[in-house]
Amino acid sequence: MARAPELPPGYRLEAEDSVPSTNGVALAAARRGDPGHLWVTAGEQTDGRGRRGRPWSTGRGNLAASLLLVDPALPEAAATVSFVAGVALHQAVVDVAGPAVAERLALKWPNDLLLDRLKVAGILVEGEMLTDGRFAVVIGVGVNCLTHPEIDGPLQSTDLASRGVPVDSSTLFGRLALRMAGEIVHWHRGAGFATIRRAWLARATGVGETVRVTLPQRTVDGLFEAFDDAGRLIVARADGGREIVSAGDVFFGGGSRADGAGA
pLDDT of residue 56: 61
At 37-63, the pLDDT tens digits run 999 999 999 887 655 555 566 789 999
Q: How confident is the model at residue 190 (pLDDT cuts 50, 70, 90)?
A: very high
Type of residue found at 263: A
Q: What is the mean pLDDT of residues 252-261?
A: 48
- CB–CB of 138/27 below 8 Å? yes
Q: How confident is the model at residue 206 (pLDDT cuts 50, 70, 90)?
A: confident
- Is pLDDT at 152 greater than 70 in this prediction? no
Type of residue found at 165: V
- CA neighbor of 90 nearest in space, from 103, 100, 105: 105
Fold agreement (12-202, 210-255):
no
- Is pLDDT at 89 greater than 70 in this prediction? yes
- How many angstroms separate the Cα of 49 from the Cα of each of 86, 87, 153, 177, 212? 17, 21, 16, 21, 23
pLDDT of residue 261: 39
Q: What is the mean pLDDT of residues 136-164?
A: 87
CATH 3.20.20.140 fits 12-202, yes or no: no
Identify the weakest region by mean pLDDT among 7-21, 142-156, 237-251: 142-156
Which backbone phi and psi does 96 adopt, to 5 degrees?
Answer: -85, -40
Q: How confident is the model at residue 81 (pLDDT cuts 50, 70, 90)?
A: very high
pLDDT of residue 259: 40
Instruction: Please tell me whether the peptide bond between 110 and the residue prior to it is cis, using omega within 30 degrees of 0.
Output: yes
- How many angstroms separate the Cα of 146 from the Cα of each of 121, 124, 141? 12, 20, 15
Domain extents in the chain: 12-202, 210-255
The mean pLDDT value of the chain amounts to: 89
The Cα–Cα gap between 62 and 64 comes to: 7
Q: What is the CATH number of domain 210-255?
A: 2.30.30.100
pLDDT of residue 3: 62
pLDDT of residue 260: 38
What's the predicted TM-score (pTM) here?
Answer: 0.90
Which backbone phi and psi does 39 adopt, to 5 degrees?
Answer: -95, 140
- CB–CB of 193/80 below 8 Å? yes
Eight-state DSSP code of residue 49 = B
- How many angstroms separate the Cα of 245 from the Cα of each of 69, 211, 215, 242? 26, 12, 9, 10
Eight-state DSSP code of residue 109 = T
- CB–CB of 142/164 below 8 Å? no
